[in-house]
Amino acid sequence: MSKIKLETRNISKSYAGELTIKDINIHLGEKELVSLLGVSGIGKSTLFNVIAGVQVPDSGQVLMEGQDITGQTGKVSYMQQKDLMQPHLTVLDNVALPLFIRGMKKVQAREEAASHFRDFGLEGTAKKYPTQLSGGMRQRAALLRTYLFSQEVALFDEPFSALDAITKSAMHRWYLDLMDRINMSTLFITHDIDESILLSDRVYIMTGPPGIIAHEILIDTPRPRGDEFLLSDEFMGYKRQIRKLLSL
């Protein structure tokens, strides 16, 4: 088992007196990509808000490498569904924002951000503005910005959900290749079964309400996984198993 980078212990959270998530125990290993799969409204984003320190749980702890970070922001990267690119800034300055916020001098921050543009497939976009980029390229820029915020642990909340099917498929291939080259550990929210099987080392299945971790599925196929994996008996086996667990 790889070194545990992040874990939650018995996290519960209520809104207006109603329990939203209950006794959530999950962990994320070093260099792992783990999906959190469940229907919309089951509490996935609430859990991410707690892990990111944006919200404080009613009970439980969030630990990073064994240290309690419950309620503390700035410890993990958090990329939400919208890319939140600032339209008045160039792509380079959008990507470098975490470094600016950290107090790095602008020249140094831009050089550091620009050094990653090739790995993230952003060559030639530094001086452009977000409105000049395709949806897929905006997501690449947002992913790089997330990576520069924290290269250790990132939370991705359905980052590819707004893309059309062809662009989404291309982004999956690119993302799997990227994850093979960087060391970031990632928790990934999705309600797309195919996406969770294709991208993940493990899949946590949330059911409810209130949202609970009902099952954990190990995707025991080495990454990266190509398009042929989507047509394999192995893939279909995982899909049937997950659909049964979700009662679909």
Model pLDDT for residues 50-94, shown as the tens digit of each residue: 999 999 999 999 999 999 999 998 888 888 767 678 889 999 999
Model pLDDT for residues 97-138, shown as the tens digit of each residue: 888 888 889 999 999 999 989 888 888 999 999 999 988 888
Residue ranges of domains in the chain, CATH in brackets: 1-76+157-248 (3.40.50.300), 87-149 (no CATH)
Phi, psi of 68 (to 5 degrees): -70, 115
Euclidean distance between CA atoms 209 and 168, whole angstroms: 30
Q: What is the pTM of this model?
A: 0.84
Nearest partner of 32 among 10, 3, 70, 11, judged by Cα: 3
Nearest partner of 15 among 58, 49, 61, judged by Cα: 58
Euclidean distance between CA atoms 142 and 157, whole angstroms: 12
What pLDDT, on a 0 to 100 scale, did the predictor assign at position 63?
A: 96
